[in-house]
A and B are shown apart, each in its own frame.
Chain A
Amino acid sequence: MTKARTRVGPSGAASTPGTLPLTLDVDALIDDPSTRIIVCCGSGGVGKTTTSAALGLRAAERGRKVVVLTIDPARRLAQAMGIEALDNTPRPVADVDHAAGGTLDAMMLDMKRTFDEVVESQASPEKAKQILENPFYIALSSSFAGTQEYMAMEKLGQIHAQSGEDGTYDLIVVDTPPSRSALDFLDAPERLSSFLDGRFIRLMLAPARGPARLMTAGLGIITNALTRILGGQVLGDLQTFVAALDTVFGGFRQRAQKTYALLQHEGTAFLVVAAPEPDALREAAYFVERLSEDRMPLAGLIVNRASPAPSGDLSADESMTAAERLRREDPTSLTAGLLRLHADQMRMVEREARLRGRFATTHPQVATAVVPALAGDVHDLAGLRRVGLLLAGGRTQNNA
C-alpha cells in the first residue's frame, strides 16, 4: 500500500502520512458515561441506520442503558429489532446480551404522530381538533420538507427529558433522516419558527386591521393574486390553519430552541457518516463545517463500506501486466482473472485512500473510523454486532 500511495497524482502529495487522520475511538466514546446523546448524520445511502443500530447494540452490551431512535430502517433489520410496528414508543430489543448490565430499546419514528402529540400537548382539546383536521396541517405534518427532521429532534427532546426524570436511558442514539439538504435537521426548527413568525403569517392573521392598514394597498394585490392562483377555498383554509396554529406557536418556538441547546450540550456527540465516494465525502465535509459553525460537538467521521485492503504488496500495474501476459497464452487463465481482480481491488483501495486523504488534509481535526464493507446486508443482531466490532476498530474474519 505504501508503494501504491507514492504513485498518486499531485493532489495526493499532500496526503502523505504526515497528515494521517486521527483515529476515532468508538469504544471510548460509547463507554464514557458523560456521552448522553449520539447523533448520526450524513447523506443518504451511506449506512447511517445500520451504524446507529450497531452503535446502540454495542453500547448496550458494554453496559449502557440505550435507546435507538431510527427513521426508516430496512424491513428485515426492523423485524430483527422488533420495531416494524410504528407506535412511536421505544420497545425492548430481544436477544441483547445483558451480562454487562445494559439494555437496548429501539423505536421507529412516526413523524405525523409526533407532530400530533406536540399539538395536543400545546392546545386545548377543541383547538387541537381544529388544527388536526385542517387540510394544511395534514399536508404540513406529513410532507413538509423538514418536518421529519424537526420531529426527530422533537422526539429526542422528549425522550431526553423523560429519561432525565426516571433514568430509563443513559444513552440516546439518533439516526437522522436522509435529508434533501444535509442539515435540514439543524435548520428545520429554526425554519418552522421563522415561518410562524414571518410577515406572511402576520398578514394572514390580521388582514387590513389597525396598523396593518398601511399595507392594504399591497395586500389587495396579494390576496387577489393568491386567489387567482390557489382559489378562494385554499386561502380560507390557510387562514384558519394559521389562526389556529398561532395559539400553539409560542410553545413550538420554545421547544425548538430547547432542542437546539440540547444538541449543543457537551453530552451530545455528532458522528458524521460517509462512504468513500466523492459526493458522500463532500457532504461530510459540509456537515463538519456546519456543525462547527453552529458550535455542535463533533465526535468524528465514520467512513463505511470501505474496500478491504488486499494483503500482499502487488501493485495494480504489475498485476495487470502479468494478467495480460497470461491471457495471451491462455485466454481463460484463472490466474489472469485473479490478477485482474487484484488490480481492480488495489485501484479501488488507492482511490478511496486518496479521497480520505483529501478530507483529512482539509479537516485534520476530525477523528476518523474506517469500516470495511461486509459482503452481505446486515439484517440481524449478529450482523449489527459485527459492524459494532468493526466500528471499534476490531477485525472480523472475512465474510464471517
Chain B
Amino acid sequence: MSEKRTGDWPQVRLHVVTGKGGTGKSTVAAALALALATRGKNVLLCEVEGRQGIARMFDVDPLPPEERRLTTGLPAEDGTPGVVHALHIDPESALLEYLSLYYKLGRAGRALDRFGVIEFATTIAPGVRDVLLTGKLFEAVERNSRNKGAIHYDAVVLDAPPTGRIVQFLNVSNELAGLAKVGPIKAQSDTMMTLFRSPRTAVHLVTVLEEMPVQETSDGIAELRAVHLPVGGVVVNLIRPQDLAADDLADARSGSIDRDRVTADLTVAGMRHERAIVDGLLAEARDHAERRALEDSQRTLVADLGVPTYELPRLPQGVDLGALYELAASLREQGMA
C-alpha cells in the first residue's frame, strides 16, 4: 500500500467484477487482475460459475478447484511484474474444505457425501451454495496464520455472477436469514458480510454503451447501495473506434459529407475510387455515426451514475492473451489499478 502510484482503489483487497451477460465481464476481470499484478504483488483471479473461462482466456488446461500460478502480471514502468494466480471455486469442494477447516469433520464429511447431503447443500439448498462460494473467497482475502504456507494475496479479483444476481450472491446473510436465524453458518455469513460491506471490497460493473446494459448497471448500483455493498467503478467495454471528428460525424449522420473530397483523397492515396466504393464508405460512415450518437447518449447516462468510469475499446479481432495485456495496460493508465 506504500506504492507511489496506487490507482483509484488503494484500499481495496477484493475486486468483484460483475456485468450483464455479453458485456465481457470475464475479460475485464482478467485484465484487472493482470493490471493489479505488478511490482512483485500476488493477485488471485477467481471464477465461481463453473465455466472455465479463465482457462480458455489464458489458454491453459481446465483449472482444478485449487489455487495455481496462472501467469506473470503486467510489469510496472520499472519492469517488475507480479504474479496472477487462478482459482476455480466449485461448491462441492468448497463445502468439504469448509467442513474440514472449520468443523474438523473428517469422517462425518465423507458420510455427509454418502448420504447425498453435499449434493443437497450445493445444488438445492438455496443460499448455502453462495455462502460456500463466497466463503472460499473470504478465506483467500482474509488468509492468516491458520493456513500455513499458503500465498498471501495483495488483491483478489472475482469474475462474479451477472448483475442480475450479484446482490443475492454477495448479500449472503440475508439470503440465509429466513433459514438459519442462529447457528454457526449464520455467524459465518455475518463475518463475510463485514468484509463485503467494508471499504476493502469494491463491486465494479461492466457495461456496454447500449440501453439495456446501461439501465441494468444503474439498477445494479441502486440495489448494491440499498444493501450497503460498496460500489466500485463502471467499466465501459467494447467502445467503438473513434476515427471521425465530431463535425465529420455530424456530416456523416446528415449525409452531407463531401463525396468529391473523398474521391479525390482516394485518388491521392493511390486507391480505387469507383462510385460503389465511395458509396460504401459513406453508408458505413452514416451507420457508424448513428451508433456513435446512441453511444454518446448512453455515455451521458453512465457519467450521471456518479462513479469512476473506465473505457475499453472493442477489438475487431477478438481478445487473445496479448490483447488482455493491452486492456490491462489501458486500465492501469486510466487509474483503475
Residues of A within 8 A of B114 (CB): 218
In the bound assembly, the distance between CA atoms of A322 and B265 in angstroms comes to 9
Q: Give chain A nearest CB distance to B293 CB in angstroms.
A: 9
Which chain B residues (238-274) contact chain A, with CB distance < 8 Å?
A: 241, 243-245, 248, 257, 261-262, 265-266, 268-272
In the bound assembly, the distance between CA atoms of A102 and B43 in angstroms comes to 58
Which chain B residues (76-97) contact chain A, with CB distance < 8 Å?
A: none
Which chain B residues (268-317) contact chain A, with CB distance < 8 Å?
A: 268-272, 276-277, 279-288, 290-291, 294, 316-317
B104-112, B146-154, B226-234, B324-332 - the one binding chain A: B104-112
Q: Give the residue of A195, A199, A347 whose beta carbon is less than 8 angstroms from that of B317.
A: A347
Q: Is the C-beta of A345 less than 8 angstroms from some C-beta in chain B?
A: yes
Q: Is the C-beta of A123 less than 8 angstroms from some C-beta in chain B?
A: no
Q: Is the C-beta of B75 less than 8 angstroms from some C-beta in chain A?
A: no
In the bound assembly, the distance between CA atoms of A347 and B287 in angstroms comes to 16
A143 touches B168 (CB 8 A): yes
Q: Is the C-beta of A318 less than 8 angstroms from some C-beta in chain B?
A: yes
From B178, which residue of chain A is reached at the shortest CB distance? Answer: A135
Residues of A within 8 A of B109 (CB): 225
Q: Is the C-beta of A86 less than 8 angstroms from some C-beta in chain B?
A: no
Residues of A within 8 A of B270 (CB): 322, 325
In the bound assembly, the distance between CA atoms of A258 and B279 in angstroms comes to 57
In the bound assembly, the distance between CA atoms of A326 and B127 in angstroms comes to 60
B22 touches A377 (CB 8 A): no
Q: Is the C-beta of A237 less than 8 angstroms from some C-beta in chain B?
A: yes
B284 touches A338 (CB 8 A): yes
Q: Is the C-beta of B136 less than 8 angstroms from some C-beta in chain A?
A: no
B269 touches A326 (CB 8 A): yes
Can you list, as one digit per residue, whether each of A277-305 has a CB less than 8 Å from chain B (1) or not (0)?
Answer: 11110000000000000000000000000
A203 touches B126 (CB 8 A): no
Q: Is the C-beta of B181 less than 8 angstroms from some C-beta in chain A?
A: yes
Can you list, as one digit per residue, whether each of A87-103 has a CB less than 8 Å from chain B (1) or not (0)?
Answer: 00000000000000000
Q: Is the C-beta of A250 less than 8 angstroms from some C-beta in chain B?
A: no
Q: Give chain A nearest CB distance to B242 CB in angstroms.
A: 9
A178 touches B21 (CB 8 A): yes
B115 touches A45 (CB 8 A): no
B285 touches A338 (CB 8 A): yes
A334 touches B108 (CB 8 A): no
Can you list, as one digit per residue, whether each of B183-226 has a CB less than 8 Å from chain A (1) or not (0)?
Answer: 11110000000000000000000000011100100000000000
- Indicate the member of B126, B127, B286 with the most A CB atoms within 10 Å: B126
Q: Is the C-beta of B322 less than 8 angstroms from some C-beta in chain A?
A: no
Q: Is the C-beta of B321 less than 8 angstroms from some C-beta in chain A?
A: no
Chain B residues close to A by CB (< 8 Å): 20-23, 49-50, 53, 99, 103, 105, 107-109, 111-112, 114-117, 119-120, 123-124, 126-127, 129, 161-162, 164, 168, 175, 178-186, 210-212, 215, 241, 243-245, 248, 257, 261-262, 265-266, 268-272, 276-277, 279-288, 290-291, 294, 316-318
| 6 interchain residue pairs of minimum CB distance | A45-B22, A231-B183, A44-B21, A45-B21, A335-B265, A312-B280
Chain A residues close to B by CB (< 8 Å): 43-46, 72, 74-76, 135-136, 138-140, 142-146, 178, 180-181, 191, 195, 198-200, 203, 218, 221-222, 224-226, 228-234, 237, 275, 277-280, 308, 310-312, 314, 318, 322-323, 325-326, 329, 332-342, 344-345, 347-348, 351, 375-377, 379, 398-399
Q: What are 10 pairs between A and B in contact, CB < 8 Å? A: A43-B21, A136-B179, A143-B168, A199-B116, A222-B111, A226-B117, A230-B185, A335-B262, A335-B266, A377-B211
